[in-house]
Amino acid sequence: MVMLKKKPLDYYKALYTISSELGSAVTIEDQLTELAEITTKIVSAKGCSIMLITTDKKKLVRLADYGLSKSYIKKGLVQLDSGTMEVLQGRPVIVRDATNDPRVQYQEEARKEGIVSMITLPLVVKGEVAGILRVYEDDYTDFSPQDVWFLSSVANISATAIGKDQMYRMMEQRYQEMLDEKKQELEKVEEVRERLTKSISVVAHDLKSPLAAIQSYFSMILGGYVGEVNDTIKQMIERSSIRIEGLLDLIGDLLDMSRIEMGQMADEMEIISLADVVEALMHDVRRLAEEKKIQLIEEIPANLPYIYGSFSRLQQVFSNLLSNAVKFTPEQGVINLKLCKKDGTILGTVRDNGIGIPTEDMPYVFKDFYRASNVEKGTGTGLGLSIVKIIIEAHGGSVWVESPCVDTGNGTEFFIELPIALHAQQANKIDSRDKVSK
């Protein structure tokens, strides 16, 4: 007969060692394997195993083992034997002769493994027995109260580790479930948005043709092609024509947004010069500025790097910003247009000394259908800056606004950043093509 001869002080030191070293393992399986090894060595046992009870309370699932052969570990499905059922009551169970005790399921396998005695202790998680810790001895062993206390403490440490792991896994599962729910919601929103985008595109396209026809008829009437019209009717037609012009602008903006949202801009992307984009629209901008006697200052250096983008869409961006600057800048005002290289991007700025944007409106200027509070009703569709933002972000760039301008203390300044084309070979091809064409 063998008695475990560890002293209480040794056990206290051992518990400290287990608690200290347990946290160094990453996974719960590694933690419990380390715990089984330390426990086996401290009590000079043959081996140790830690198992969880399945939810149906009929089987045991091994989490960690130490000191046992692979053949013994894989001997077969571990059922809850009568000895283990006693453990479910929350108390340790000692088997002095594992080869003859009817409470042991695999007696012959225990004999071949050299297991003589064993003690099984409950792992209590949240008030319920969730598993067992079992220590195996290769000689007839009586476990003293001190031994049982120490091994019960080890079992409690194991249960705590398992409880934390279950909590983390439960939190992770719940977090994943929440992510899946949000993903499904986003997918539904995306489906609705796509259907709405297509519907808007169809409706806007169908409305554009008849409105354009009506506008054409109004132009013919106002031009005197159908006979003279009295002043009252003429005024009515002029007001109606202005309204239709506004509707056509709105329809145009809606069609632009729907086309961009549906990814049609991808077919327009190529290696281009942003300087060429701006220059292509400056004739009309200069004319508008001259009509209001506004000074238009352009700073566009030669040899700006190329970008990858849609020529027509970026032209739309700068046309929108520059026309807005002219619209909201009083006569004799100043507008600055500047392009420059900044790190790996091209930075474009449009600055004016016009009416500016009220502070309370700044967070909303790029929202759909939003008009600043200091803008007269009926001015524009409220989609221009929203379209600017969509186009720039589709190019992988960013757009923002400052008002009043930091440098001048008045007016508004829009900033656009677009990434420089990374493929130098493509840019070189453009250079070569230009040289050939010249």
Tell me the domain boundaries of the chain: 2-175, 185-264, 267-437
Residues of the chain predicted below pLDDT 70: 1-9, 20-26, 76-77, 81-83, 166-175, 192-208, 246, 249-251, 253-255, 257-259, 261-264, 377-381, 423-438
Fold matches, 2-175 and 185-264: no
State pTM to two decimals.
0.49
Q: What is the pLDDT of residue 273?
A: 93
> Top-level CATH class of 267-437?
alpha beta
Q: What is the DSSP letter of 360?
A: G
Token pair belonging to 116: 């003589």
Q: What is the pLDDT of residue 230?
A: 83
Q: What is the pLDDT of residue 181?
A: 79
Residues 122, 80: contact at Cβ < 8 Å? no
The CATH number of the domain covering residues in 185-264 = 1.10.287
Query: What's the fold here for domain 2-175?
Result: Beta-Lactamase (3.30.450)
**Element (H or E) spanning 310, and its range?**
strand 307-310
Q: What is the pLDDT of residue 134?
A: 93
What lies within 8 Å, CB to CB, of 423 at 6+ separation is: 271, 308
CA distance 99 to 248: 93
Residue whose entry in the numeric block shows the structure tokens 């000689």: 139
Token pair belonging to 344: 């790996």
Which residues, listed in sequence order, are joined to residue 232 by a DSSP beta bridge?
Answer: none
Which pLDDT tens digit goes with each residue over 88-122?
A: 888 899 999 999 998 888 889 999 999 999 999 99
Residues 11, 150: contact at Cβ < 8 Å? yes
Residues 393, 366: contact at Cβ < 8 Å? no
Q: What is the pLDDT of residue 165?
A: 73
